[in-house]
Homo-oligomer: A and B are copies of this chain.
Amino acid sequence: MDRQGAKPLLVRDYEDLARARLPADVWDFISGGSGTESTLTANRAALERIRLRPRVLTDVTACDPGTELLGARIAAPIGIAPMAYHRLACPEGETATARAAGLAGVPLIVSMFASRTLAEIAAAGSGPLWLQLYWLRQRELLTGLVRRAEEAGFGALVLTVDAPRVGRRLRDVRNGFVLPPGVHAANVAPEAMAASHRAAPDASAIERHAREQFDSSITWKDLAQLRALTTLPLVLKGILTAEDARLALDHGVDAVIVSNHGGRQLDGAVASAQALPEIAAAVGGRCRVIVDGGIRHGTDVLKVLALGADAALVGRPVLWGLAQGGAQGVSDVLGLLRDELEEAMALSGRPRIADVDRSAVVL
């Protein structure tokens, strides 16, 4: 609990607390979207429009948001979206997040640009860990990383496909954002990360780095190479159309994450909650469907489950919690979301996740 102010009771309360604690440019890096930030806004608006249809006189004494995802039992259909450099939010970084995720029993998707090593993170966390990858030009870097993830017991690989380059985030450009001293990608060869540490006025080091290192030529065919590297389940993050969801199925992925990268990539992209129904319909249960973008309340989770998602990821709120109170802050945020979801299940008469179907919402 923040001593100065009131106890945060909603996820969005953590936003204010975090803003007050973080340097302005770090705050901007975390909060901002690309371009005019129209997709950032659209994500919330789309969720807000969806309304819940509660059922009554169901036994809800024991509501259990627990479910199964890619082979792991999880305490709630909630996960932590991959986000680079948790040390931006608190000195401890990803090990704090992992500890909190483990306690909460929900998966943490570790960003390729985590600021703690996979081994450190794995040691700290007791829950499912997945590794998120961007496809770098130096493919051997990927191979090494996948190997270390397997050794550290990671449970899935998440290839982010909405970022052949990094979207132009104007706050970062304006701030000339560069990683602060002491924060670096702990799992990628320093040479491949140098650009992220080179400041330049009116330019984002993060964006420049991606331009230099990301392989923007990869296509569906290249997936086979990743598949060949490992037997871990493979997840594609950044699907927003039924067409791509069908292609993902054709290429044997285990899950798709319906995401516009929290409004940080293609400005103007459709809200993820708006894209979800067509994707859920196209997938028809043949792989898992996960969604992220603007999830700020347990009822948002219930809404996307009703529209066909198997789980929802939370991004920024986790960094807010981290900024506000380290592992404890993350635990609080995750606990809040889980409790809100559990309450929403009780009050909508759907005691198990399997009870949440399309009839739970009206558009």
Contact = CB atoms under 8 A, between A and B. Distances in A.
A268 interface: yes
Contacts of A240: 53-54
A343 interface: yes
Contacts of A222: 57
A9 B170 contact: yes
Query: Interface centre among A59, A170, A275, by most B CB within 10 Å?
Result: A59
Contacts of A7: 174, 202
Interface size of A as a range: 35 or more
Contacts of A220: 57
A53 B238 CA distance: 11
Contacts of A255: none
B9 A173 contact: yes
27 contacts: A9-B173, A10-B170, A51-B268, A51-B271, A53-B240, A54-B240, A54-B241, A54-B265, A54-B266, A54-B269, A56-B236, A56-B238, A57-B219, A57-B223, A57-B247, A59-B217, A60-B165, A60-B216, A60-B217, A163-B347, A165-B343, A167-B343, A168-B340, A266-B348, A267-B344, A268-B297, A268-B303
B35 A297 contact: yes
A274 B343 CA distance: 23
Q: Assembly of this chain: how many copies?
A: 4
Nearest to A13: B170
Contact of A347 (B61, B202, B266, B270): B266
Contacts of A36: 10, 297
A6 B174 contact: yes
A279 to B, nearest CB: 11
A230 interface: no
Contacts of A38: 48
B9 A174 contact: yes
A240 B53 CA distance: 6
Nearest to A135: B57
Interface string A27-54: 0000000011010001000001011111
Nearest to A222: B57
A60 to B, nearest CB: 5
A270 B362 contact: yes
Interface in A186-202: 202
A244 B348 contact: no
A340 B299 contact: no
Contacts of A299: 35, 266-268
Contacts of A239: 56
